[in-house]
Amino acid sequence: MKYIAVTGGVLSGLGKGIAASSIGRLLKSRGFKVTSIKIDPYLNVDAGTMNPYQHGEVFVLADGGEVDLDLGNYERFLDEALASDHNITTGKVYHTVISKEREGKYLGKTVQIIPHITDEIKRRIRKVARESGADITIIEVGGTVGDIESMPFLEALRQMHREEGGHVNFLFIHTTLVPMLGTVGEFKTKPTQHSVRELREIGITPDVILGRSEKPLPKAIKRKISHFCDVPERAVISAQDVDSIYEVPLNFERQGLTDYILERMEMNSREEDLAGWERFVKNLKSAKGEVEIAIVGKYTGLKDSYISHKEALAHCTAETKVNVKIRWLEAEDLEKEGDADEFLKGVHGVVIPGGFGNRGIEGKMMAIRYARENKIPFLGICLGFQLATIEFSRNVLGMDGANSTEFDENTPYPVIDLLPEQRGVKDMGGTMRLGEQKVIIQKGSKAYSLYKRTEISERHRHRYEVNPDFIDKIEKGGLKFTGKDVEGIRMEIGELDEHPYFVATQFHPEFKSRPMKPAPVYLGLVKAAIEYKKSL
């Protein structure tokens, strides 16, 4: 078993996740089976309860795991489905160790960071590597070297490096900042030097250094980093800014990173195939023209809150070869101004993403109504699906005050509600519908024309459902539920016949969109937006 650990220095947000994902993509292109692990040093057990403004999007895995957004990048780059165990947090580790101690499984020993916490970390890493059947496991350590929270994880990795046989089986890649300062744009290597020194003080010597910078690192700077940080010059890789994250693997490949890793770990390439990825990036960069899609959200101040939506639209750009420009709109701003035309005029499509709580819902429904009445292509996701149902009930069916009981327990028309078996459950987690579930699609529907089959599997993250008591009335009014769960109880897809493209899904198709396989409902939206623009 081979392992690659990706650490970060100086500051967070340097792009360790993209670097780890890119390295995984490159190794997969050489014929190896690769899997990824993200270590998050926070005390939360998972990302499910975290504020999107603080931590970005909560990515949902097939098994229902609510995890860090970096696992979304891993899945998109590797085109592999991961599981909850691939996200290791301090909360998970300590919860397990303390539970074992309470059960007496340590036989009265004093429970300590070393060896009990570090042993649990190593056990979890090895379990994922073993059960995945991967040739190489890539481990990204969140945060930076020197963070108190990261210390047990770095210590565990230091021990693994020795236990697994050194750099032949365990490689350390360190991502660090190489800033440009002054009017002449001079590269500064001191942050990298200090970061590597701190890493070495805890017993870890990097095998590769990824220098994050605005522009490519000159040879002289690579040589300087090589001398001061004791790595070969060819192992100093320039990780400069690029137009698209999907260019990063190609940038690393051009600098010989894949060959260096394989030589260092004494592995021979089984094949070499980046043609599909190169074609995808070429299509992305050569796209002509433009359509503008509005994303009307509740957390648009931090774009990472909607990163999977953003990437799904990028995948559509490559597929259609038409640039998709995103107009980011805050739902509360629509509410305050009260004029949807001012915010949405000129867009060629509208996306209403998911979310929880009643903040901004009236603004979202203003956008939905505007798209419906003006025949602008529309896609509602999760909460967007529910709000599309509420908006239709209010403004087409005349059900004044229609709402979700999540927002108004006393609504006269609870068109969105908990199902009977969910009501009265005190544990909120017990009412959540999470992970991949089957959806049955009605033949002859818009959804069927997009997916081209009657059964699909998509990921969910919601609590409330379309109330079965109102389904007949809503469908007779013109909003058809063309996708349902296997029991026919939960409504999964809604669409309007008298509209060029009005589709809403209770599930989250953005989580399964891939660079060369865009999510069908997003691709349908973009194609409809292209046609809508032509008609103007």
Beta strand 403-404 pairing with 170-177: unpaired
Sign of CA dihedral 137, 158, 14, 128: positive
Cα–Cα distances in Å, from 358 out to 53, 85, 355, 492? 16, 32, 9, 21
What residue type is 100 in one-letter code?
Answer: K
Active site residue 316: no
Active site residue 382: yes
Query: By C-alpha distance, which of 478, 476, 521 is closest to 497?
Result: 478
Would you say 392 and 479 are in contact if contact means Cβ atoms under 8 Å apart?
yes
Q: What is the 3-state secondary structure (H, E, C) of 136-165?
A: EEEEEECCCCCCHHHHHHHHHHHHHHHHCC
Residues sharing a CB contact under 8 Å with residue 208, sequence separation 6 or more, in sequence order: 171, 172, 173, 174, 231, 235, 236, 237, 257, 260, 261
d(CA 490, CA 368): 22
Query: By C-alpha distance, which of 314, 322, 376 is closest to 344?
Result: 376
Q: One of 382, 406, 460, 499 is an active-site residue; which one?
A: 382
Q: How far apart are the first and last CA of the chain?
A: 58
What's the longest Cα–Cα distance across the chain? 76
Q: One of 57, 140, 311, 510 is an active-site residue; which one?
A: 510
DSSP string, 436-468: EEEEEE-TTSHHHHHH-SSEEEEEEEES-EE-G
Would you say 30 and 180 are in contact if contact means Cβ atoms under 8 Å apart?
no
Active site residue 86: no
d(CA 68, CA 48): 9
How would you label 24-52 residue by residue, b for 16+ Cβ within 10 Å and e otherwise? bbbbbbbebebbbbbbbbbeebbbbebeb
DSSP string, 68-89: -THHHHHHHHHT----GGGEEE
What residue type is 383 in one-letter code?
Answer: L
Active site residues: 382, 508, 510
